[in-house]
C-alpha cells in the first residue's frame, strides 16, 4: 500500500476543524428551520438525477451590493423563501453561489461554520470552500472499463473560493483546488490527483444593463456548466474537476437568455513524485458555442427548461472538428415528469471524411403518492432511453460517425460505474428515488447496455475498447446502482453507494482482454463552509 509523503487529507481535516472552531456560528433564534435540509438538497453528486423538476443550470454571476440600512418591508422575502435560499446557497459551480439571504434582516434561520466569512467588506467579499473525502473499493474495474484489477483507496479534495465584488458592475472570482489520493495499489487515474491549482480565476463585468436586457462579459479560467450536463460539465464526480481558459458573454432578457463562450480546455498535468505542475490551456483544442433558453414557451405544458444550443469542438491533436446542434425540454404536468434532449453532430473526421452523428435522451417519470403504515410516501419513478450513434460498421480513428459526448458528466447518466461513454451506445434504464424520512434519500437505478453498431463500445474518455475486431454480440450487460444520501444539514452530507455489473456476450469478442462481472462500493463525506 502506497502513501504520499505529504498527506493532505490529514492536514485538510485538521485545518477544517480549526476553521470550524475559530469561526463564530450563531445559533438560530427562531423556529424557522432546524438546519436539516431535505434529501434533495443533500445529493452529493450535485443532483445526479432529475428528481422532481430538472432544470437548466447555466450559472449566473451574482452581483450583490452592500446591504441597505433599512429594509423595505414589501421586498422582504417570506420565511419559506429565505429558508429555501439558505439550502440552495451553494451551487454546482461556486461562482454562482448566492449568500444574499444572510444580509436580509428578515432571515432568522440557522447559521453554519463559514457564514461569518460571507458579506465581508460591506457586503462585497465572500470567502468559503469545501472539504470532501471519498473511499473507493473497486473490483475488476480499476482503470477504464473492465480491467481485471482490484483496488481500494481514499480520495480527498479541498476547494477554497473568494468572490470579490469591486463595484455593482465588476467582480473578481478565484477558486483554488487541492486534490489528492492515498492507499492505491496501482497508479491513480488522471482525474484523481491535482496538488494545487487555480480552478477558477476570472473577472467579469456588466457591459450593459437596462430594464429589458443585461449583458455580462467574463474573461479568464472558468468552469462551464450547461443544461443537464450531458455535453458540458465541470465533472464534480472527479476529484480534480474540469475547467477551461477563455471568454464568455451572457445576455439576459425578460424571457430569453443567451450564453456565448469561446475557450480552450485546461490540460491536467499528472502528478509525479509527489509534485505538481501548474496546468495550462491546450491551444490545440478550441471549445465554443451558444446556449439559448426561453422562459415562456412551453409554460402551457409545464416546461421548466426549454433550451437550444450549438457547440463546436476543434481538436488538432486528434485532427477532427465536430459541431453539435441540439435542444432540451424538461418539466412537470401534474404528477407526470418528462425530459427530452437530442442533437445532431456533423463536421470532419480525422481521415477527412464527413462526420454525421447524433444522440437522443427521453425520460418519463411519475410522482407516486401512497399512505403507508408510517405515513405518506411519495417516491418518484423514471423510465429512460439513451441512444448515441455508433457510426458505420468500419472504424475510423478517432471514430467514423459515432457521437462524441464532448466534456460531460457521464457519471450522472450512463451508470455510476462509468464503464461506457455516450457513443455507440443504447441504455435502457429505470430509476426509483424514494425519501426515507426527512434526511435520507434512497435510489435504485437499473441499466441495460447494448451497442448501436456491432463494432466496439467506448470509454468515458472516448477511447475504443477493441477497435481491431467486430463485436460478436451487441449485448454489453446489466448494471444496478444503489445510492443512499444523508443530509446531516444543508452544509454536511454523506453518501453511500454500491454498484454491480453483469457482463454481456460482447465480452466474448476476440481481443477483449477482460470479462466477468464487476463491483463498486464507495462512501463519501462532504462539508461546505
Q: pLDDT by residue (tens digit) across 412-426? A: 999 999 999 999 999
Residues in the chain, total: 529
Q: pLDDT by residue (tens digit) across 300-313? A: 888 988 999 999 99
CB 124 within 8 A of CB 514: no
Instruction: Name all contacts of 313-317 with Cβ < 8 Å and 24+ positions apart.
Output: 313/285, 313/286, 313/287, 313/404, 313/406, 314/285, 314/286, 315/284, 315/285, 316/284, 316/285, 317/282, 317/284, 317/285
Q: What is the DSSP string of 344-364?
A: EEEEE-TTSPEEEEEEEEEEE
Query: Is the bond leading into 283 cis (omega within 30 degrees of zero)?
Result: no
CA dihedral over 122, 125, 126, 127, signed as positive or negative: negative
CB 150 within 8 A of CB 143: no
In 3D, which of 125, 140, 117 has the Cα closest to residue 172? 125
Taking the C-alpha atoms of residue 276 and residue 176, their distance in angstroms, rounded to an integer, is 14
Is residue 2 a part of any domain in this protein? no
Is residue 172 a part of any domain in this protein? yes
Distance of CA 19 to the CA centre of its chain: 27
Say how many domains are in the chain.
Answer: 1
CA dihedral over 64, 69, 75, 80, signed as positive or negative: positive
Is residue 151 a part of any domain in this protein? yes
Taking the C-alpha atoms of residue 287 and residue 33, their distance in angstroms, rounded to an integer, is 43
pLDDT of 345 over the 80 cut:
yes
pTM, two decimals, is 0.84
Mean pLDDT of all residues in 20-40: 34
Consecutive H or E run containing 365: strand 354-367
Is residue 1 a part of any domain in this protein? no
Q: pLDDT by residue (tens digit) across 253-274? A: 988 999 999 999 999 776 555 5
Give me the domain span that covers residue 125. 8-528
Is residue 442 a part of any domain in this protein? yes
Q: Return the pLDDT at 66.
A: 44
Q: pLDDT by residue (tens digit) across 120-174? A: 999 999 999 999 999 999 999 999 899 999 999 999 999 999 999 999 999 999 9
Consecutive H or E run containing 526: strand 518-528
In 3D, which of 162, 48, 27 has the Cα closest to residue 499? 48
Mean pLDDT of all residues in 385-414: 85
Is residue 3 a part of any domain in this protein? no
CA atoms within 13 A on the CB side of 217: 3
Q: pLDDT by residue (tens digit) across 458-502? A: 999 999 998 888 899 999 999 999 999 999 999 999 999 999 999
Say which residues have a Cβ less than 8 Å from residue 274's Cβ, sequence separation at least 6. 4, 5, 6, 195
Domain with 388 in it: what CATH number? Answer: 2.40.160.100
pLDDT of 43 over the 90 cut:
no
Taking the C-alpha atoms of residue 94 and residue 156, their distance in angstroms, rounded to an integer, is 18
Exposure of 227 by Cβ count < 10 A (0-12 exposed, 13-18 middle, 19+ buried)? buried
Taking the C-alpha atoms of residue 304 and residue 331, their distance in angstroms, rounded to an integer, is 5
The radius of gyration of the chain from alpha carbons, rounded to an integer in Å, stands at 23
Amino acid at each position: 500500500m502506497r502513501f504520499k509523503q505529504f498527506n493532505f487529507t490529514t492536514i485538510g481535516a485538521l485545518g477544517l476543524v480549526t476553521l470550524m472552531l475559530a469561526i463564530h456560528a450563531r445559533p438560530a433564534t427562531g423556529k424557522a428551520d432546524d438546519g436539516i435540509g431535505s434529501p434533495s438538497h443533500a445529493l452529493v453528486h450535485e443532483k445526479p438525477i432529475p428528481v422532481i423538476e430538472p432544470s437548466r443550470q447555466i450559472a449566473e454571476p451574482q452581483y450583490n451590493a452592500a446591504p441597505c440600512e433599512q429594509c423595505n418591508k414589501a421586498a422582504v422575502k417570506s420565511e419559506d423563501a429565505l429558508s429555501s435560499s439558505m439550502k440552495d446557497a451553494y451551487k454546482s459551480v461556486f461562482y454562482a453561489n448566492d449568500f444574499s439571504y444572510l444580509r436580509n434582516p428578515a432571515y432568522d434561520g440557522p447559521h453554519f461554520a463559514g457564514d461569518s466569512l460571507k458579506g465581508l467588506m460591506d457586503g462585497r467579499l465572500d470567502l468559503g470552500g469545501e472539504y470532501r473525502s471519498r473511499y473507493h473499493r473497486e473490483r475488476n474495474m480499476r482503470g477504464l472499463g473492465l480491467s481485471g484489477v482490484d483496488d481500494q483507496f481514499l480520495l480527498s479534495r479541498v476547494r477554497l473560493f473568494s468572490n470579490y465584488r469591486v463595484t455593482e458592475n465588476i467582480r473578481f472570482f478565484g477558486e483554488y483546488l487541492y486534490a489528492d489520493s492515498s492507499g492505491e495499489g496501482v497508479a491513480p487515474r488522471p482525474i484523481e490527483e491535482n496538488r494545487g491549482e487555480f480552478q477558477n480565476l476570472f473577472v467579469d463585468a456588466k457591459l450593459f444593463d437596462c430594464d429589458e436586457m443585461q449583458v455580462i462579459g467574463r474573461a479568464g479560467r472558468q468552469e462551464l456548466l450547461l443544461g443537464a450536463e450531458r455535453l458540458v460539465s465541470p465533472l464534480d464526480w472527479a476529484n480534480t474537476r474540469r475547467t477551461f481558459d477563455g471568454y464568455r458573454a451572457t445576455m439576459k432578457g425578460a424571457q430569453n437568455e443567451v450564453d456565448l463562450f469561446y475557450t480552450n480546455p485546461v490540460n491536467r498535468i499528472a502528478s509525479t513524485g509527489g509534485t505538481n505542475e501548474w496546468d495550462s490551456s491546450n491551444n490545440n483544442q478550441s471549445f465554443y458555442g451558444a446556449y439559448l433558453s426561453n422562459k415562456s414557451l412551453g409554460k402551457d405544458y409545464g416546461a421548466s427548461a426549454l433550451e437550444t444550443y450549438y457547440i463546436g469542438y476543434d481538436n488538432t491533436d486528434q485532427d477532427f472538428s465536430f459541431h453539435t446542434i441540439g435542444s432540451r425540454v424538461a418539466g412537470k404536468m401534474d404528477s407526470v415528469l418528462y425530459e427530452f434532449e437530442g442533437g445532431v453532430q456533423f463536421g470532419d473526421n480525422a481521415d477527412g471524411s464527413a462526420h454525421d452523428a447524433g444522440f437522443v435522451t427521453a425520460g418519463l417519470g411519475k410522482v407516486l403518492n401512497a399512505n403507508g403504515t408510517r405515513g405518506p410516501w411519495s417516491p418518484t419513478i423514471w423510465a429512460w432511453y439513451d441512444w448515441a450513434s455508433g457510426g458505420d460498421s468500419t472504424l475510423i480513428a478517432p471514430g467514423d460517425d459515432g457521437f462524441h459526448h464532448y466534456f460531460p458528466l457521464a457519471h450522472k447518466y450512463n451508470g455510476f460505474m462509468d464503464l461506457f461513454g455516450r457513443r455507440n451506445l443504447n441504455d435502457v434504464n429505470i430509476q426509483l428515488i424514494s425519501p426515507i424520512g426527512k434526511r435520507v434519500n434512497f435510489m435504485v437505478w437499473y441499466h441495460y447496455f447494448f451497442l448501436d453498431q456491432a463494432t466496439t463500445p467506448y470509454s468515458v474518455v472516448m477511447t475504443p475498447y477493441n477497435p481491431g475486431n467486430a463485436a460478436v454480440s451487441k449485448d454489453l450487460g446489466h448494471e444496478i446502482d444503489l445510492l443512499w444520501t444523508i443530509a446531516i444539514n444543508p452544509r454536511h452530507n454523506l453518501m453511500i453507494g454500491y454498484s454491480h455489473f453483469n457482463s454481456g456476450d460482447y465480452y466474448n469478442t476476440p481481443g477483449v482482454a477482460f470479462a466477468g462481472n464487476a463491483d463498486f462500493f464507495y462512501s463519501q463525506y462532504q462539508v461546505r463552509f
